[in-house]
Amino acid sequence: MLANEVREKLIAIVTKANFDDSKTERLVYSYDATPNFQSMPDAVVSPRNTAEVAEILKICNQHQVPIVPRGSGTNLCAGTCPTEGGIVLLFKQMNRILEIDEENLTVTVQPGVITLDMIHAVEALGLFYPPDPSSMKISTIGGNINENSGGLRGLKYGVTRDYVMALEVVLPNGDVIRTGGKLAKDVAGYDLTRLFVGSEGTLGVITEATLKLIPMPETKKTMLALYQDLNAAAKSVSAIIANKIIPTTLEFLDQPTLKVVEEFAQIGLPTDVQAVLLIEQDGPAEVVERDLTSMAEICKQEQAVSIQIAASEVEAEALRTARRAALSAIARLKPTTILEDATVPRSEIAKMVQTINEIAEKYQLEICTFGHAGDGNLHPTCATDARNHEEMERVEQAFAEIFEKAIDLGGTITGEHGVGAMKAPYLEWKLKAEGIAAMKAIKLAFDPHNIMNPGKVFAKDSKKRVVITR
Ligand SMILES: Cc1cc2nc3c(=O)[nH]c(=O)nc-3n(C[C@H](O)[C@H](O)[C@H](O)COP(=O)(O)OP(=O)(O)OC[C@H]3O[C@@H](n4cnc5c(N)ncnc54)[C@H](O)[C@@H]3O)c2cc1C
Q: Write the pLDDT tens digit of every residue in 157-179.
A: 999 999 999 999 999 999 999 99
Can you name the residues that pair with 180 across neighbouring β-strands?
A: 166
At residue 470 the predicted structure's pLDDT band, cuts being 50, 70 and 90, is very low
The model's pLDDT over 136-150, given as tens digits with 9 standing for 90+, comes to 999 999 999 999 999
315-336 CB burial, b ≥16 within 10 A, e <16: ebebbbebbbbbbebbbebeeb
Is ligand 1 within 6 A of the CB of residue 114? Answer: no
> What was the pLDDT predicted at 465?
67
> What was the pLDDT predicted at 231?
87
Is ligand 1 within 6 A of the CB of residue 105? Answer: no
Question: Which atom of ligand 1 lies at the shortest distance from residue 72's CA?
Answer: 26
Is ligand 1 within 6 A of the CB of residue 379? Answer: no
**Whole-structure pTM value:** 0.96
- What's the gap in Å between 416 CA and the centre of ligand 1? 10
The model's pLDDT over 424-444, given as tens digits with 9 standing for 90+, comes to 999 999 999 999 999 999 999
Residue 229, pLDDT > 70, answer yes
Distance set, CA 248 to CA 152, 217, 292 (Å):
8, 11, 11
When the pLDDT of each residue in the chain is averaged and rounded to a whole number, the result is 95
Is ligand 1 within 6 A of the CB of residue 143? Answer: yes
At residue 464 the predicted structure's pLDDT band, cuts being 50, 70 and 90, is confident
The protein residue whose alpha carbon is closest to atom 53 in ligand 1 is 74
Question: Which atom of ligand 1 lies at the shortest distance from residue 196's CA?
Answer: 43
Residue 135, pLDDT > 90, answer yes
Residues 196/206, Cβ–Cβ less than 8 Å = yes
Mean pLDDT of 25-43: 96
At residue 466 the predicted structure's pLDDT band, cuts being 50, 70 and 90, is low
What is the CA 91 to chain-centroid distance, rounded? Answer: 19
Give the separation between CA 461 and CA 440, rounded to whole angstroms: 14
Is ligand 1 within 6 A of the CB of residue 391? Answer: no
- What's the gap in Å between 253 CA and the centre of ligand 1? 23
The protein residue whose alpha carbon is closest to atom 16 in ligand 1 is 75
At residue 451 the predicted structure's pLDDT band, cuts being 50, 70 and 90, is very high
HEC assignment per residue over the chain: CCCHHHHHHHHHHHCHHHEECCHHHHHHCCCCCCCCCCCCCCEEECCCCHHHHHHHHHHHHHHCCCEEEECCCCCCCCCCCCCCCCEEEECCCCCCEEEEECCCCEEEECCCCEHHHHHHHHHCCCEECCCCCCCCCCCEHHHHHHHCCCCCCHHHHCCHHHHEEEEEEECCCCCEEEEECCCCCCCCCCCHHHHHCCCCCCCCEEEEEEEECEECCCEEEEEEEEECCHHHHHHHHHHHHHCCCCCCEEEEEEHHHHHHHHHHHCCCCCCCCCEEEEEEEEECHHHHHHHHHHHHHHHHHCCCCEEEECCCHHHHHHHHHHHHCHHHHHHCCCCEEEECECECCHHHHHHHHHHHHHHHHHCCCCEEEEEEHHHCEEEEEEEECCCCHHHHHHHHHHHHHHHHHHHHCCCECECCCCCCCCCHHHHHHHHHHHHHHHHHHHHHHHCCCCCECCCCCCCCCCCCCCCCCC
Is ligand 1 within 6 A of the CB of residue 112? Answer: no
> What was the pLDDT predicted at 469?
42
At residue 125 the predicted structure's pLDDT band, cuts being 50, 70 and 90, is very high
- What's the gap in Å between 63 CA and the centre of ligand 1? 28
